[in-house]
Amino acid sequence: MDDNECISYWSALGAFDYAAANKSGARFLRVYQPFSALLVKLANCEGLYTQLSFLKPKWYYVRKDPLNLLYRFLAEEAAREIAILDSHPIASRADTAPILATLHALMDLCRVRQTFIRIYQLLLNSGSNDDTFQAVLGDLETLQREQQHDCSRDRLGLLGLGVAKEISILRSLLKARQAIIDYAFQDACIALFTCKQDLNDWKVACQEQDYAEKSNTTTRQEAREAVPAWKAMFFGGAADVAKHGEAWPNIIRWPTKYLDNLYAKMTLYFNNILLEKEKLLTDDDPEKALWKGIKIDYHDQICTFRKRFGAHCVGLIYEVTPSVPFHPQGYVLSGTPYEPPQGIHSFPFIYCQPNQAPKEHMPNIISIIQGSRNKLSDPKMGPVYFFDSKISSTYYLAQVDEHVVLVVIYLERQVQREPSTLDFMATMVTGLRGTSVIADLSRME
């Protein structure tokens, strides 16, 4: 038995080419039938895992956590075969050694996959809870340390690279999410760049990998789509989004969707900073150019809503707290003394449409925020509604993140909550929180 045969099997799994992996696994029938059966079972489990099938509700009608159990049973079978081969080696040591090495790697992979399954389930059930995201980040950091030995590229070839990239991509997404929430522009850029680079490197490695029985569908050429100037400036060539249609499994397609969601959120939150950069690069309508190529155009949604329903102002207010430093430019040089904003300046508009912040409404807005914390922090309550008869203005406020509140102002009295405003705010909040893209974990086909 040749070590290259095992390497070819791991490479096919790593390239999501399960037809080739099954053929490679079947070749070991002539060497050791139980080993061949285990490889075919693993390929089937990997096919289900990379499509995120274990998150679909219909799976739980059959048996709770079925894929987790399949990986556990697979690891137990591998352990039994290791014990048998240790006591009764097959015909030659040359055949036994690579089989044992592969079985040990298979057991470690199954354990890592079980951890991944738990992580995805936590994300799906998080409800955008910050504590859950922090717990998942901790789990990923632990998993990354274990992966460097248990599922390294030396042991699993391309599949080992895939495991490492999957961990790094998820970590980068969650770090970018937190950096955007904390208004840390530089950290957000670094995390998004790392995520995009890892996704591209993973795809390229899959396409360029060679192995036995390789399917033609894995070598398809990719197209590139146009990106706005600011993304090209901050992310370079890595900002080009590779397209491979439905050929990529959900384990790659979902992080790409989440990355698009975070690009859009970052563009809205750091609109003032990015617009200044865009003006240096674009002469013709920099505001429109800023959102070019962004999959979710929040700016257009806001402008369309204002024009259609006559809202005086739609904006995002950042509430500065002692726990997280706030810098209007998104970052500061190391060693720069921090002077927290005071008074009305501790509630800055990070985005406003129209561009001029409504300063005359700030006392009311701050009062509503400070007096309605319980309602704002409860997503089931919906937007807070308030009418000021003295200035004949109606306010709607909804909490987006820990620090950010969405505000809609009308210069008229609305006796009842306006359904169109409530729907608009619900859509915006769901998108910006990432609730909808997290829910897609269980909805992707």
Residues 6+ apart with CB under 8 A from 239: 196, 227, 231, 232
- Residue 92's pLDDT is what? 62
Note the pLDDT of residue 46. 96
The residue with tokens 């921090």 is 338
CB-CB contact of 435 with 132 (8 Å): no
Q: Residue 102 in contact with residue 157, Cβ under 8 Å?
A: no
- Contacts of residue 66, defined as CB under 8 A and 6 or more positions apart, other chains included, come to 54, 59
Q: Is the pTM of this model over 0.85?
A: yes
CA–CA dist 82, 79 (Å, integer): 5
The pLDDT score that the predictor gives to residue 28 is: 86
Report mean pLDDT in 10-residue bins for the chain, 445 residues: 81 94 89 92 96 81 77 96 87 75 94 95 86 92 86 88 96 96 94 96 92 64 50 51 64 96 96 88 83 92 96 96 88 82 92 92 95 88 91 94 95 88 96 94 87
